[in-house]
Amino acid sequence: MAYQVLGRWMPAPAVHCRYLGGWVATKHRRWPAVDQAERKPLLRYAADCPNATPAFERAS
């Protein structure tokens, strides 16, 4: 998954949670901090995904 700035583009609502999980995993592997511009849309979209638990492996 290519890194996108969260909130500038989102896929269809039916796959928001899956996309968000991939976005978080990619972001955490490469840039382990969320900036203020990402935080607001992240919390807004994540509110619709109460059971999502992203899985990731750290980049080496």
DSSP of 14-48, one letter per residue?
A: GGHHHHHHHHHHHHHHH-----HHHHHHHHHHHTT
Paired tokens of 6: 């969260």
For 7, phi then psi, to 5°, come to 100, -25
pLDDT confidence of residue 36: 79
pLDDT by 10s per residue, the chain, length 60: 455 677 788 888 888 888 888 888 888 788 777 787 888 888 888 888 877 665 555 555
Which pTM does this prediction carry? 0.68
